[in-house]
Amino acid sequence: MLRNALEPWHILVVVLVMVVLFGSRKLPDTARALGKSMRILKSEAKAMKADDQPPAAGAPEAAAHHGSPADNPR
């Protein structure tokens, strides 16, 4: 049933519907905004992944602390 679910003419129909709904002038801006959002999402996912990994064995403990400067009175 879903063997040929996405054929080239399906993509053409989707593009045509988008042009009709949004107009040809707004599509480049929409694509640019979508690309920017995807880059932000990717960078945030990388940052979360880096936060989940434990610090290296030789790293000082102060580098692993993520508190604000207000947490460390002088």
pLDDT at site 19: 85
Task: Assign 1 a pLDDT band (cuts: 50, 70, 90).
Answer: very low
Q: Does the pLDDT at position 8 exceed 60? A: yes
pLDDT at site 36: 96
Q: Which two tokens stand for residue 40?
A: 């932000």
- The predicted model scores a pTM of 0.46
User: What are the pLDDT digits (tens) for 23-63?
Assistant: 888 888 888 999 999 999 999 999 998 888 776 665 555 55
pLDDT at site 22: 80
Which of 18, 16, 49, 20 has the alpha carbon at shortest distance from 34? 18
Which of 70, 66, 41 has the alpha carbon at shortest distance from 55? 66
The domain spans of the chain are 26-50
Q: Rounded CA gap, 43 and 50, in Å?
A: 11
Q: Rounded CA gap, 74 and 68, in Å?
A: 13
pLDDT at site 57: 64
Task: Provide the CA 29 distance to its chain's centre, in angstroms.
Answer: 17
Residue 25: count other Cβ atoms within 10 Å of its Cβ: 7
